Amino acid sequence: MDPKTGQKKWEFKMSDVTDSGVLTTASDLLFAGGREGYFYALDARTGVELWRSSLGGQVEAGPMTWAIDGKQYITIAAGQALFTFALRE
């Protein structure tokens, strides 16, 4: 949604509803997951799917981001496990 106009900018259809939070980064990446066990990275400006990963358990948590020595990571809980992905520079 465009916060200035309220107009829908794009839509990403999922096969199931989601309980996951949504995380966006300053580099225009959007991360979210769903009950079907997929974790997605989208282009935050266009909604285009950049990649998805099957995590083997429902994604019901919000993703978080953190950095060590200038390298950024995204971590998400799914099922009974934590998964961490490194972002490209």
The model's pLDDT over 12-27, given as tens digits with 9 standing for 90+, comes to 887 777 778 899 999 8
Q: Which domains are seen in the chain, by residue range?
A: 23-86 (2.40.10.480)
Provide the residue count of the chain: 89
Query: What whole-number distance in Å separates Cα of residue 62 and Cα of residue 19?
Result: 8
Is residue 8 within 8 Å of 49, Cβ to Cβ? no
The model's pLDDT over 36-87, given as tens digits with 9 standing for 90+, comes to 899 999 999 999 999 999 999 999 889 999 999 999 999 999 989 999 999 9
Indicate the pTM of the whole model.
0.86
